[in-house]
Amino acid sequence: MGFVVSVPSTHIYFGIAVFPEEQLVGAIKLKAMELGGAIQPMTPEKRHKQHEANQKYEAAKKHFYSNGLPIMAAEVKAVFESIDKQIQKFRKPVGGFEVEFNQGRCVVRSQHETLEVSWYREGYGTIETDLLKVAEFEARMELPSDRWMWPEGRPNPVDRIAYRLELTRSNKHRWSEKDESVNAELTSAALGENLVVRFLDLIDRTSAARNRRRDKM
């Protein structure tokens, strides 16, 4: 039996994976006209206001990148604390999860899998190139307080992703995926939650792979 979902007439369904981003502007204009709105032509005065707003935003970003190290440190800490908070919920009923973090690195691991989140600094006069790098391992990796040695070399991650901290036009600090032209801007708390979901996905994938290998033996 199917379900019918009623979408308000003022809403627009737009699949970014199906349609290019530039078509969204046209869809918004069409919906506005359907609802009785009038599309106003661009004027020099309106364009000048846009120009001034863009210049102001670029100046604010430049100041943020040059002076935002304390903010970056606080937001990284908030991501790590969010991860810790979520894992603490599952530690007792599920068992086997460990999480530990310091100023620059957070590790959450199970018996066979690890998610490692590291604050990577490239330019010390700016945070513009700073990244929060995430690596997934099909191995039990060391915690920040561990002093493990890897005689045969540290295992390579099976997947990686990186996030950068940005200043939005509404003057908020949000994380976005590096190398992604379209993505949701995430608060530090939301990013921490997303990374815990990623960790649980990793566990399920590797567990399923191990089961398939055993079935073939």
Residue 209 lies in a domain: yes
Q: What is the pLDDT of residue 181?
A: 56
Split into its structural domains, the chain has a count of 1
Residue 131 lies in a domain: yes
Boundaries of domain holding 91:
68-146+153-216
Rounded Cα distance, 22 and 65, in Å: 29
Q: Is the pLDDT of residue 93 over 60?
A: no
Residue 179 lies in a domain: yes
Q: Kindly indicate the confidence band of residue 3, based on its pLDDT and cuts at 50, 70 and 90.
A: very low
User: In angstroms, what CA-CA distances link 205 with 63, 138, 193?
Assistant: 43, 10, 19
Q: What is the pLDDT of residue 66?
A: 94
Residue 42 lies in a domain: no
Residue 41 lies in a domain: no
Residue 33 lies in a domain: no
Residue 92 lies in a domain: yes
